[in-house]
Amino acid sequence: MALQGSMSFAAFTLFLVLTTVSHGRNINPPVYGICSSSVILHGYKCQEHEVTTNDGYILSVQRIPEGRANGSGSRTRKQPVIIQHGVLVDGMTWLLNPPEQDLPLILADNGFDVWIANSRGTRFSRRHISLDPSSPAFWNWSWDELVSYDLPAIFNYVFTQTQQKINYVGHSLGTLTALASFSEGKLVNQLKSAALLSPIAYLSHMNTALGVIAAKSFVGEVTTLFGLAEFNPKGLTVDAFLKSLCAYPGIDCYDLMTEITGKNCCLNSSTVDIFLRNEPQSTSTKNMVHLAQTVRRGVLTKFNYVRPDYNIMHYGDVFPPIYNLSNIPHDLPLFISYGGRDALSDARDVQNLLDNLKFHDVDKLSVQFIKEYAHADYVMGFNAKDFVYNAVISFFNHQVNT
């Protein structure tokens, strides 16, 4: 099972690469900011912010301080919400549908102060106080650093700006980094509640039709890929590696959205077209390797340098430390939603996560299962407002009133 799962990040990247190639390479919109391209044109106020992490990365964050109708929402002091995307995409992925279907704008219209995060290495967060993206040192990080630096920096910034505890929404990798942070006691003093959509804390049951061959290919190529500090799905080297997977007998790369994310029930073709004009985004090769380690080992640990002396140098032990999710405070309000058709966030893996939360306060844990939903439905589904987002808002509002 672990091998079946470990190919999924490579296969997801393969989907993004091939569909991007089929639409042409130079298709990203002008780099003038998410506010201008995706928020202000719909009649919302939007501010571009920069957040500098303790290790020097300069992150782009968009703030939507209120709804389209000035002062919309009943509360005068609006609750802040941070929204965090997954791997190989950026904050734009939340804004691909019409405004009445996009989570950030729905939250703003319901009286929340919305902050959209963009992880290091993505299109609008490719800056550092001293390093250049052309330098391998710029890409020397995995999702450990998102836990240790990116999320704390964004939380600290938003808390400083608003002086209020913060609600959080994460999707996919945005759930993994949040759960790892919470397990180490990070963010919890600034957090009001968290909504985790398609959580991927455990990944050993991921299943896709591309099968074991992609897993073996990705794992087998790690030493080669590690020479590439930036994992750029549009780059020629990664492109050639990933497209080669389609040459294997029995591999069908025709409908990769379904093959990789599961059979999404509720995506408009026009939204998928916009998605393909904006994604994929770069990450670090080290991050992809770490994700593959997470899948293969079936446990959540910090990055494994494999060589005992390297692990000792970084951690003081031959093995990397474990993120123990049972350490998450039992009174931390958590909303978890997962889908029955999700090939990345398999229901059995979500159950493993829930087993780690079995001592959580009953009135602080809300779990939603949507039989028809797959991975992308949670971000781009035309009915996600009715199925998911309204439930998230109700959960957040319940925390305000308790």
**Which residues are annotated as catalytic?**
172, 342, 375
**Cα separation, 218 vs 200, whole angstroms:** 19
245: amino acid identity, one letter: L
Structure tokens at 193: 């509640």
What are the beta bridge partners of residue 169?
83, 195
Q: Which of 213, 225, 308 is nearest to 252 (CA)?
A: 213
**Residue carrying structure tokens 């500098």:** 52
**Cα separation, 200 vs 86, whole angstroms:** 10
197: amino acid identity, one letter: L
DSSP one-letter code for 281: -
Structure tokens at 312: 């000792």
Structure tokens at 47: 């501010």
216's CB contacts (< 8 A; 6+ apart) are 3, 7
Query: What SS3 string covers 156-181?
Result: HHHHHHHCCCEEEEEECHHHHHHHHH
Q: Which of 2, 19, 10 is nearest to 276 (CA)?
A: 19
Q: Do the beta carbons of residue 77 and residue 192 sit within 8 Å?
A: no
**Cα separation, 227 vs 28, whole angstroms:** 26
Task: State how beta strands 47-52 and 57-64 pair.
Answer: antiparallel
CA-atom Rg of the chain in angstroms: 20
